[in-house]
Amino acid sequence: MSEFILETNGLTKEFKGFAAVSDVNLKVQRGHIHALIGPNGAGKTTVFNLLTKFLPPTAGTIRFDGRDVTHEAPAATARRGLVRSFQISATFPHLTVMENVRIGLQRKLGTEYHFWRSEKSLDVLNDKAMALLEAVDLASFADTVTAEMPYGRKRALEIATTLALEPKMMLLDEPTQGMGNEDISRVVDLIRKVSANRSILMVEHNLSVVANLCDRITVLTRGSVLAEGSYDEVSKDPSVLEAYVGSDDMNDAHH
């Protein structure tokens, strides 16, 4: 088993000759929380769209969990365990929190033929749904209509519906976006908790979140990898500081 759960080689995406992602070699170690950071327009979301097969690459390869998945269908790669939160798992606002998690579980279990042959299947579904809600600290919201929950709690529910698919690796695109400090610290705790036994690649603009949470960081600028290393390493790299000119983010993040 490779030390790296995800490896891209020469990953490139051009839009009408413009290279949004250019020759990216990304390696994510098994069990790590790995951050992908960089200024607006650096190509972070495009990398995610390539990894999930939402977009086909212009060049390069993607290896996940020991296999070349570059030309595999999106659903097949998701079934292998590479899952993006808020992609497959969008929640239904008019259903309760419990109903949303049950739908996520049905997606997973529904593909397992034997599950529905058991008379106990619905009990199993309810037990698993409740366990997931407890894991993301939403048990007390089980019967709440999703639309009526605070924003930060909705993001936690989205993570729960992704967890229902039992991913080996989760892709999180700006999980703390638009949140206040209280919700941010709750989501940080949640990501740390769900990272047990799995790998996470996250795009995150909030550098104090990156500093506190992530084992390794890749910095992208204009489609290319500028630097890679621990937070201490990349935050001292003059070329990284240069890329972040105009913001003191890199220096303020550490505490």
Interface with ligand ATP (CB under 6 A): 15, 20, 38, 40-46
* Rounded Cα–Cα distance for residues 135 and 190 (Å): 8
Count CB neighbours of 59 within 10 A: 14
Residue 86 or 115: the one with the smaller Cβ distance to ligand ATP is 86
CB of 135 to ligand ATP, least distance (A): 28
* Rounded Cα–Cα distance for residues 108 and 83 (Å): 12
Residue range at the interface with Mg ion (CB under 5 A); choices 15-23, 41-49, 110-118, 185-193: 41-49
Closest C-alpha among 98, 160, 158, 156 to residue 125 = 98
Q: Per-residue DSSP letters for 174-203?
A: STTTT--HHHHHHHHHHHHHHTTTSEEEEE
CB of 206 to ligand ATP, least distance (A): 12
Residue 75 or 90: the one with the smaller Cβ distance to Mg ion is 90
* Rounded Cα–Cα distance for residues 237 and 169 (Å): 28
CB of 44 to ligand ATP, least distance (A): 3
CB of 234 to ligand ATP, least distance (A): 16
CB of 109 to ligand ATP, least distance (A): 33
* Rounded Cα–Cα distance for residues 231 and 228 (Å): 9
Phi, psi angle pair for 58, to nearest 5°: -75, -35
Structure token digits, residue 229: 């290393």
Question: Residue 46 binds which one of ligand ATP, Mg ion, none, with CB within 5 to 8 A depending on kind?
Answer: ligand ATP
Residue 11 or 97: the one with the smaller Cβ distance to ligand ATP is 11
Question: Residue 40 binds which one of Mg ion, ligand ATP, none, with CB within 5 to 8 A depending on kind?
Answer: ligand ATP
Residue 40 or 181: the one with the smaller Cβ distance to ligand ATP is 40
Q: Which of 14, 23, 39, 45 binds Mg ion (CB under 5 A)?
A: 45
Strands 33-37 vs 216-221: parallel, antiparallel or unpaired: parallel
Residues forming the site for Mg ion (CB under 5 A): 44-45
